[in-house]
Amino acid sequence: MVHQRGIVPLCKGFSVIHRSLSGTTETICTGVLQRLDYGSAECQALILVPTPNLAQETVKIIGALGQFLGVTAQTCTGGTSAHADQQTMSRRVQVLVGTPDCILDVLQRHALSPDHIRMLFLDEADELLTGGSKDQVSFISYQLYYGNRNV
């Protein structure tokens, strides 16, 4: 049911909120793949997840669904140096999947430009919007909306 109600609105560019026990990751990935500009090498979508394991799972799903489209996705879950993050972002990465703390760090260090990002997804938003992650998600949204000015 989540697929039927979620994929079509996502493909049309609408904001969607879904509550489901399962299936949201696949719906998000399908929505991302439908809205990407395949001719662009820029990062166009951020998917925020609460855990590194979910980030890895999400990248695998995007890779499987998008393998014939040439879509590239990368995880950003911490534990890497600033130089490694910069190298990752200098490659053709169209979708970045990560935990809020790591995504925020990459944005603040200007290793990732918000200029081309046009999609932001929160997988397991109930977990992301509790505790310290709520402020990080809010600041990421702010940076994506306003870019690097006034930040």
Residue 121 has pLDDT above 70, yes or no: yes
Q: Which of 11-25, 63-77, 92-106 is predicted with the least confidence, judged by mean pLDDT?
A: 11-25
Position 26 scores a pLDDT of 77
Nearest to 42 by CA among 82, 72, 69: 72
Position 151 scores a pLDDT of 41
Position 73 scores a pLDDT of 93
> Residues 91-98: what's their mean pLDDT?
89
Q: How far is it, in rounded angstroms, from Cα 50 to Cα 138?
A: 14
Position 150 scores a pLDDT of 46
Q: Which of 17-31, 42-56, 99-113, 129-143 is predicted with the least confidence, judged by mean pLDDT?
A: 17-31
Residue 45 has pLDDT above 70, yes or no: yes
